[in-house]
Amino acid sequence: MSEPPGNTAPAPAAVSIWQLKPWWCQPWSILLTGVLLIAGSWFWLGRWWLTVPFATGVLLWWWLFLVLMPRQLSDLSGPDDIG
């Protein structure tokens, strides 16, 4: 018997944004770098009033690259394109 008309190929698996990024732009490397920078600023400067603004900048960086960017990309591409 012949196959029914239409595409019988399996659907491609969803691609995660993190599969497209190099190792230095993976969530684990972003988190590790931020933690090391905050800890380094505390140990090097030893002043909470200098470390807190620095940590705030790191938290903003995390939010931008780990929360906002993946969310925006998935909204733009649709639910079937990016996992």
| Chain centroid offset of residue 26 CA | 6
Q: Sign (positive/negative) of CA torsion 72, 17, 60, 25?
A: negative
Provide mean pLDDT across the span 14-25.
Answer: 82
Rounded Cα–Cα distance for residues 65 and 71 (Å): 10
| Chain centroid offset of residue 12 CA | 22
pTM of the model: 0.68
Confidence class for position 57, pLDDT limits 50, 70, 90: very high
What does the angle CA 60 – CA 62 – CA 63 come to, to the nearest 5 degrees? 65
pLDDT of 40 reads 95
Provide mean pLDDT across the span 6-19.
Answer: 65
Q: Which two tokens stand for residue 5?
A: 């008309």
Confidence class for position 78, pLDDT limits 50, 70, 90: low
Residue of 58 and 24 predicted with greater confidence: 58
pLDDT of 76 reads 80
